Amino acid sequence: MIDPATVCLFIPDGLTKFKNGLFNRIGDKIKRAGGCVIRGDYAALDSLPDAVIPIVGCSPQLRPLIDRWRACGRNRIQWDRGYVRRIFATWLPRGANGGFYRWHLNSFQMQTIRDVPSDRWESLLPGNASDPRRLTVLQWNMQGDHIVVAEPSPTYQASHGIEGWLRRTTIALREMTKRKIVVRGKECQRPLGDDLRNAHCLVTHGSIAAVEAVILGCPVFVHPDSAASLVGLTDLNKIETPIYPERERWLHSLAYSQFSEPELVDGTLWRLLD
């Protein structure tokens, strides 16, 4: 459990109205609990006392700070849109009332499969078979042919120092396989499920498209920082032999790593954050 009195939420400049409102509501709750908020001042963020845990999102300006914190073992909390029932930027059924957000201590995404109950995952599933909001986990497709490559956004690439990832990855794949490669740009409007139909696998760095692909029954190749690495592979040299592991405990863990907006302010986040 994290004590909110020991954290500091960083609110960057230039947020949309929606994001600014969300950050402000969370920041107000943190301040009432004894924590603090920093707005747009990266130097102040980097000068926080060691006992204070910074809470940051994903932006290129944070990269040198996060690299330094990782190197020296300083605790940090990272948050972003959730894995399932996100409010937008998803090809799975969306969440209501603000959707879900992932929060992790010292990692960009979930890095372990935990022994947690199924209740939070089951709460994401309601809906009858004809309901477009129903969330369904599909069986693994083991007979696919083409490879889907999901390109990270420019902001993501700059934040992780992987500029040029798509070019390097497609070159590597063409040296390893004769399979057709289907590239999905970050702003691609084709439904992800259409590209994954009869796909051999999906390849990306840390895009949540990998999490969604696993739920849709498509094996994945990703960077170790991706939550999907726990049920996929990270070595492209094995591109012809993807894996199809059991996903139940992974799904349960995902649900315990994301929180609705009410849970961000009612204490549930701090109780379950791991």
Query: Under CATH, what is the fold of the domain 146-246?
Result: Rossmann fold (3.40.50)
| pTM score of the predicted model | 0.93
Output the pLDDT for position 128. Answer: 61
Output the pLDDT for position 87. Answer: 80
Output the pLDDT for position 261. Answer: 87
CA distance 252 to 247: 9
> Which regions of the chain carry the CATH code 3.40.50?
146-246
Tens of pLDDT, residues 73-117:
999 999 999 999 988 778 787 776 678 999 999 999 999 999 999
CA distance 218 to 41: 42
Output the pLDDT for position 39. Answer: 96
Output the pLDDT for position 72. Answer: 93
Low-confidence ranges of the chain (pLDDT < 50): none
Asked if 183 and 170 count as a contact pair (C-beta separation under 8 A), the reply is yes
Tokens read off for 254: 């995902």
Output the pLDDT for position 8. Answer: 97
Output the pLDDT for position 127. Answer: 67
Residue 39 half-sphere exposure, CB side, CA atoms within 13 Å?
Answer: 8
Output the pLDDT for position 132. Answer: 60
Tens of pLDDT, residues 173-205:
999 999 999 999 988 889 999 999 999 999 999
Output the pLDDT for position 110. Answer: 97
Residues in the chain: 274
Which residues 6+ apart lie within 8 Å of 220 measured at CB?
A: 201, 202, 203, 204, 210, 213, 214, 226, 228, 231, 232, 233, 242
Output the pLDDT for position 206. Answer: 95
Output the pLDDT for position 131. Answer: 62
